[in-house]
Every structure is written in C-alpha cells, then in structure tokens.
Amino acid sequence: MSRIPCNVNKDLLPLYVDDVCSEESKSMVEEHLAGCEKCQEYYEALKEGIPEEKIAEEKEGLLSEEKMREAAVSVIKATKKEITKSQTIKAAGIVAAVILALIVLEGLDGSYMGGWLGKIPLFDIRLKVDDVRVTEVYELDNGYLYVTVEPDKKCGMCYAGNLQEVVDEEKGLTGEYEGVFGLENAPLDVDAIRIKSYSFIFPLSKKVKEYDGDVRERQDSAIYLEGKGDKRIKVWEKGQEVKKAPPEIEGEARKEIEETDAWSEGGIRKGEITAADAAEDAAGSVYIISRDK
C-alpha cells in the first residue's frame, strides 16, 4: 500500500483519534505515522487535546458529509496502485487508436496545423524558431515588408497571417494588429518537396469598412516568426528602419504580387469569389514565394 500524503493523513487523524474511521483508514494512518515525525507530533497534540478549539472545528468540518466525501476522494487518489502491464497495454492501444483517428480525420499532410489540434504538442509540426534563420528584411517601393527565411531542418510547408488583431487576456481586443508566419514539416507527407527558403511579403496596412459604416485603416505594429510551442521572435516592428529592397528583389516581389492579384481577378470573372472578398484578401493577405533550390 502506498503511503498517503500528510494533508490527507491530517484530515483522517481526528477520526482516527475518536476511533470512528474504517479499518482500512486506520491502517493507512498508522503506516503514515510510522514514518512521519511531523504527523506524529500532530497526533500527540490531538490525543492531548491541544489545541482543543481548533481540533473541535476540524472534527466538525471533517464529519460533515461534504468533508467526508472530499477525504474519501483524497484517499482514493493517494492509494491508487501501480497500473498493471495489461492495463498499460490497453491504455496504449486506446491512445494509439485516438491518435490514428485524429490523423485520418484531420489529414496526413499536416493540414490540421492552424487549428486546435496543432496546439497539442504531439501534433505541433512547426519548426522551432531556433531552427529558422531570417536572412532578408527589406522595404518594397509600395511600402510592403519583404522577409526571407531559411530553415536549418527539413521543411515542406509554411503558413502566414496578416493584420490580425491582438487580444489581451484581461482587456480583450486591443485595437493593435500584427502579422505572423511560420514553417512546418509534416512527417507523414511523403510527397512534400523540401523547401530551401521562403519569402513573405506583408502589406502592412489596409482600409476596412467597420460595422458602423466608417472606413478605417488598420496597421501592423509588428511581424513575428512563430514556432513550436507558440514561441515567437519579432522580425519587424512599427517605426523600425529597414533597407530598401534591391532591384532583383523588387522584380521578384512585383511578379508574385501581380500573378496573385491576376488569379484573384480571374476568380471574380468566373464568379468563384466576389470583388469585395478579393479586395479584402489583396489588402490584408501575405504573398509567399517558396524556393526548393
């Protein structure tokens, strides 16, 4: 039988002194007293009636139905036996089945990232921020921010979000906005191409029609690289001086923006997306360039 904790033992001692507890509880108390000097002193004080008023209050509380239930639960938790080998195998089988079901439901290629499942350490496929190097930070002619990163470990995917309102745990919505990005590696995505580098192009502001009908401009206060365990490093913040992009970067970025916007315009013509949605996406999305060489 495993030894019960001191706080549980002290809950049972008044009952033990008055001889109103079960034989099993008596055995547990006596086993604990045999190896605990502090509880022995407390036991002697109880027997001698010191301090009587405090002990009376404890007895009254412990003998109440609610207190008795709490003490019973504590004892059960404290005296649980070790899980047997068969129980371990059974538990492992259940866990494996749940994991398999989640993977099948959410997708073998890591598409579950970005949802609640990606927050569980077991399913967090993001690279650590220490395994990602920021190699370029430039300002484009149009005012957008251009950021290039290279992973030190295998990487086949990325994600990004822009102009997301910051939420404070106590204050709620803060009226400040930020952009984030991260790199991922889905071990089960066998068709994934290993990426050597990613460039992210962040439009740092956009005009939005609010619920009251007024048009307001949102501006990013910072851009963060996110990684495993929700760890972050700040790549850029408002007011920071950034070098102007060289001509080759300007050309590459311009091409990516034009191609992406053309795709959106094609979607509008085909009726796949609305003009309002396309304008919203173009103003607040992140343009991404990936390189496998």
pLDDT of residue 26: 85
Mean pLDDT of all residues in 216-228: 94
- Whether the per-residue pLDDT at 119 is higher than 90: the answer is no
> Counting every residue, how long is the chain?
293
* Higher local confidence (pLDDT), 59 or 227: 227
pLDDT of residue 216: 83
Tokens representing 97 are: 């089945």
Mean pLDDT of all residues in 103-132: 67
Query: Tokens 């010191």, residue?
Result: 50
Q: How far apart are CA 190 and CA 291, in angstroms?
A: 18
Mean pLDDT of all residues in 255-269: 79
252-281 residues labelled b (16+ CB within 10 A) or e (exposed): ebeebbeebeeebeebeeeeebeeeebeee
pLDDT of residue 146: 98
Q: Tell me the pLDDT tens digit for each residue of 133-174.
A: 999 999 999 999 999 999 999 888 899 999 998 988 888 888
pLDDT of residue 256: 93
Q: Give the model's confidence band at 272: pLDDT under 50 very low, under 70 low, under 90 confident, else very high.
A: low
Q: How far apart are CA 80 and CA 164, in angstroms?
A: 47
Q: Give the model's confidence band at 103: pLDDT under 50 very low, under 70 low, under 90 confident, else very high.
A: low
80-93 residues labelled b (16+ CB within 10 A) or e (exposed): eeeeeeeeeeeeee
Asked whether the whole model's pTM tops 0.75, one would answer no
pLDDT of residue 215: 80
Of 1-5, 152-156, 205-209, least confident by mean pLDDT is 1-5
- Whether the per-residue pLDDT at 246 is higher than 90: the answer is yes
DSSP structure string for 224-292: EEE-GGG-EEEEEETT---PBPPHHHHHHHHHHHHHHHHHHHHHHHTTSS-HHHHHHHHHH--EEEEE-
Q: Tell me the pLDDT tens digit for each residue of 25-74.
A: 888 888 888 888 888 888 888 777 655 455 455 555 444 555 555 655 56
Q: Give the model's confidence band at 113: pLDDT under 50 very low, under 70 low, under 90 confident, else very high.
A: very low
pLDDT of residue 211: 66
pLDDT of residue 48: 73
Within 18-64, residue ranges assigned H as helices are 23-33, 37-48, 52-62
Cα distances (Å, whole numbers) of residue 233 to 83, 205, 271: 42, 21, 40
